[in-house]
Amino acid sequence: MTDYVLVGGGAFAREILGWFTPDLPAGDRFAGYIDDGVGPLQAAGYDLPQLGGVADFRPNPSQRLVMALTDPAGKAAVAGTLLAAGGEFATLIHPRAWVTSTARIGKGVVIALFADISADAKVGDFATVNGYSSVGHDAELGAYSTLSGYVDLTGYVKVGPKCFFGTGARVLPKVSVGEGSTIGAGAVVVRTVAAGSTVYAAPARKL
């Protein structure tokens, strides 16, 4: 039996509940969530107990934390706090995701249904891969990065830590995206993106 505790009570937490609850193994359950806000899931009509905020939460050995945040910088900060408190993070891979046997998946990762992690791809710790997104063969997705839905990282792409990709963004083969970059929805990245950049459109450029 595993008690999962969601880290965050926002929209992505609600998506995780909807995707994973029907397919949890017998005896496993979402036991609650932590959030620094006041009852965000209750306000949205969900009957899941709030177990406190990030700073005051003390995990017990039966619990596995699930990263339900999508902001890369926020994930990094919160994960650091909870790991220091002794928290253990689960990696959740939806049974209807396609993950090859040669892919390498880090800890604290969430891979949604219909995502595709291809041959010899690497997904770093606390990365998020939303529905219908893909990490192509030999591609690397950096720690704490987030792919929104329908993002396509093609073969040999390298994405640094703490990057965010809006819905429908695409990176062409062998292109690199530097740490802390934001790739806007629908962008097509055809050349290297420097660290800390924000780019939009097709071909992707700073606006």
List domains and CATH numbers for the chain. Answer: 3-90 (3.40.50.20), 91-207 (2.160.10.10)
Contact 153, 147 (CB under 8 A): yes
pLDDT band at 42 (very low <50, low <70, confident <90, very high): very high
pLDDT band at 1 (very low <50, low <70, confident <90, very high): confident
Name every residue whose Cβ is closer than 8 Å to that of residue 43 and which is 6 or more positions away in sequence: none
Tell me: the pLDDT tens digits for 65-102?
999 999 999 999 999 999 999 999 999 999 999 999 99
Higher pLDDT: 173 or 59? It is 173
Strands (E), 68-107: 92-93, 98-99, 104-105
The three-point CA angle 87-48-38 to 5° equals: 80
Output the average pLDDT for the chain.
96
Report, as an integer, the average pLDDT of 164-191.
Answer: 98
Percent of all residues in the chain with a pLDDT value above 70, rounded to a whole number: 100
**CA torsion, points 141, 205, 189, 125, in degrees to nearest 10?**
10
Tell me the pTM.
0.96
Q: Is the pLDDT of residue 207 over 80?
A: no
Q: Is the pLDDT of residue 172 over 90?
A: yes
pLDDT band at 61 (very low <50, low <70, confident <90, very high): confident
Report, as an integer, the average pLDDT of 135-148.
Answer: 98
Percent of all residues in the chain with a pLDDT value above 90, rounded to a whole number: 94
